[in-house]
Structure 1
Amino acid sequence: MEKQYQQLQPEERLTIASMHLQGSSMRAMARMLGRSPATVSRELARNCRFENYASIPAPALSVARRIAARPPARLDPKGVTWRIVLTLLDWKWSPQQISGTLKRMYPNDSTQQVSHETIYTAIYARPYGELRRQLVACLRHHRTDRIPRSRGTDRRGQIPEMVSIHVRPPEVDDRVMPGHWEGDFIKGANNASSVGVLVERTSRLVLLARMDDATAASALAGFSAKLNSIAAPLRQSFTYDQGKEMSRHRELTAATGVKVYFCDPHSPWQRGTCENTNGLLRQYLPKGTDRVQSG
């Protein structure tokens, strides 16, 4: 079993101080304490003043070194940047929007710039309480904890004849030529109604297709009608997750001429434009309600 390192205790430091005054060797001190000679050597090197070792200030010096070794928080709760973040969160801005705004506000000052992950970490690292609940409520998905990208085995079953995103033409990633779309479903309460979301990767144009339910038949009809309302040159590809509502993707291709590609399981970042759009739409179509049907 691997040994775990433990900080020197006050009584051990007293022993070191006493033996050091008696002129004992470091190996003798280590044997007495049951410690490594390197531990005793570091302790004496760090906390000796004028060749004398003082056991009383040694713990305070050790704590001070540990604090100094930690990098300062990018979002200091007492700093100006954190106050800006709090204000923009209260305005219902996403951490991604806030991060981009800070980069534009302080283009030459990296100390005032933070990533969206840093903002999420600052929110979720706070202890549970009213302030944390208020901050989480400002986020679009209102999740009490961050959800890992991988959540285990996919239990939804396999869609027949899927074409992987990894064989999608490289020009789709470049976002230079329009006509490549990402899609998803926003579902109402109990999946009784839904809205199909289409986002064009180059222009970020968003199209919504209202559907009666979340079945494959509704997805085929709704997406086909919406895609066919677009000029043919702007219907090149369609990237989706592995939701079962797209099990009739071959019929969608036959009806629209759009090639359908599927993301890897639990990989929403492969369809990031649509995921970000869903976050914006969820402010107006929140989960657990049936505003999809009544709106």
Structure 2
Amino acid sequence: MRERTQYQQLQPEERLIIASLHLQGSGIRAMAQILGRSPATVSRELTRNSSPAGYASVPAEALSAARRSAGRRPTKLCLQGVCWRIVLTLLEWKWSPQQISGTLKRMYPTDPTQQVSHETIYTAIYAQPRGELRRQLIACLRHGHNTRMPRTRGTDRRGQIADMVSIHVRPPEIEDRVLPGHWEGDFIKGAGNQSAVGVLVERTSRLVLLGKMGDATAASALAGFSAKLNSIVAPLRQSFTYDQGKEMSRHKELAAATGVNGLCRSKTRDEKMR
């Protein structure tokens, strides 16, 4: 297989040579041979970066830089923008990038320019030049790694339920158990999964409610949890955090039937019922 070579932009000194040779009437192939460049490169340079007065190295360099700048996509999280100042404030409050991303979507539901993903926030932090600001931003992160860890790190993502909303974007008032009405859900399963009991734990009061289910299927989970959540007065059913098991694959129907916002916790046991 032919090895692919990486193209390098023309340097200012090369443009100076092109301008000098062009002024002397040299041909494109002769200039290319002197520079060690392709004739197509020289021809394209003369076509794109010549002014009405002819080709000169300094104006050609300015035209090339302007074209490259205009071709770049604007930065999603502008470091001089209002959104970045909000992100900085929430990072100082020890919010995670996932929580910040979810909060921005709720704050600006109709303005995509003020919404950023958690990966964009991580990128903006780790793209900072080495120095005090970068150290301060990394220190605001819960893990505080000096380098960005890969998103997957070999995690097996098979079997995850569709359209789940991660536990990492739930608001701080749920994490801090400030307001009642936020529930954790789990299952107690019988032998061979032939029977099951749904368990609901209210995060603030630690009140425990049990709902009997015919089995451990998604249909039974939907019916059992819907009935139990709807038996609770509306102000005291704000959110419902559940596992990634296949029993909760109909979580969107559960949310529609109860009006409760669903959040999915990770599969690791250390995040359950915390």
TM-score range, shorter chain: 0.5 to 0.7
Name the CA distance, whole Å, in 1 between partners of 2:4 and 2:22.
30
- Tell me the residue number matched to 1:36: 38
- Look up the equivalent residue of 1:275 and give its one-letter code: S
1:247-286 deviations in whole A, cap 9, x for unaligned? Answer: xxxxxxxxxxxxx88xxxxxxxxxx9223998989xxx9x
What is the aligned counterpart of 2:51 among 44, 49, 52? 49
Shift of 1:53: 0.5
1:62 aligns with 2:53: no
Partner residue, 2:117? 115
Whole-angstrom distance in 1 between the partners of 2:87 and 2:146: 19
The equivalences for 1:207-218 within 5 A come to none
Which of these residues, 253, 269, 274, is aligned with residue 265 of structure 2? 274
Give me the identity figure in percent: 61
Equivalent in 71, 78, 86 of residue 76 of structure 1:
78
Could you list the runs of 5+ residues in structure 2 that have no partner in the other structure? 168-180, 187-196, 201-207, 219-244, 247-262
- State the partner residue of 1:8: 10
CA gap of 1:205–1:236, structure 2 versus 1, over 3 A, is farther
Query: Helix, strand or coil for the counterpart of 1:206?
Result: strand
1:40–1:51 distance in 2 versus 1, CA, 3 Å: farther
Offset of residue 120 of structure 1: 1.3
- Alignment of 1:26 with 2:28, yes or no, is yes
Amino acid at match of 1:127: P
1:166-219 deviation digits (Å, cap 9, x = unpaired):
4x9xxx6577xxxxxx9xxxxxxxxxxxxxxxxxxxx983379xxxxxxxxxxx
> Cα distance, 1:116 vs. partner?
1.5
Matched, 1:233 2:213: yes
Matches of 1:87 and 1:148 in 2, distance apart? 25
CA contact (8 A) 2:83 2:114 kept: yes
Aligned length: 199
Instruction: Specify which of 125, 130, 133 is matched with residue 131 of structure 1.
Output: 133
Secondary structure of 1:71's aligned partner: coil
CA distance, structure 2, for counterparts of residue 147 and residue 62 of structure 1: 36
TM-score scaled by length of structure 1: 0.54
Identify if the C-alpha distance between structure 1 residues 67 and 273 changes in structure 2 by more than 3 Å, giving closer, same or farther: same
Cα offset, 1:34, TM superposition: 2.1
Q: Which has the higher contact order (CA 8 A, sep 6+)?
A: 1
Equivalent pair of 2:265/2:271 in contact (CA under 8 Å):
no
Q: Report the Cα distance in structure 2 between the residues aligned to 1:30 and 1:24, rounded to whole angstroms.
A: 10
1:194-209 to structure 2, matched below 5 A, reads 205-206=183-184
Q: Return the alpha-carbon distance in structure 2 between the equivalents of residues 68 and 143 of structure 1.
A: 34
Q: Please say if residues 102 and 112 of structure 1, whose CA atoms lie closer than 8 Å, have aligned partners that are also in contact.
A: yes
CA RMSD of the aligned region, Å? 4.2
Cα distance, 1:150–1:78 mapped onto 2, change above 3 Å: closer
TM-score of the two chains, using structure 2 as the length reference: 0.57
Q: Which amino acid aligns with 2:81?
A: G
Encode CA deviations 1:213-245: one digit per residue, 9 max, x unaligned: xxxxxxxxxxx9x8998434297379xxxxxxx
**CA shift digits 1:144-164 (9 cap, x unpaired):** 32222454699xxxxxxxxx9
What residue number does 2:145 align with? 143
- Is this contact kept in 2: 1:141–1:279, CA < 8 A? no
Aligned residues of 1:140 and 1:280 also touching (Cα < 8 A): no
Q: Which runs of 5+ in 1 are unaligned?
A: 155-163, 176-181, 183-202, 209-223, 239-259, 262-271, 286-295
1:86 aligns to what?
A: 88
- 8 Å Cα contact 1:140-1:279 kept in structure 2: no
Q: Structure 2 vs 1, CA of residues 112 and 150 (structure 1 numbering), >3 Å: closer, same or farther? A: closer
SS in 1 for 2:213: helix
User: What SS does the corresponding residue of 2:266 show, helix, strand or coil?
Assistant: helix
CA distance in 2, matches of 1:174, 1:17: 58
Aligned-partner Cα distance in 2 for 1:95–1:5: 36
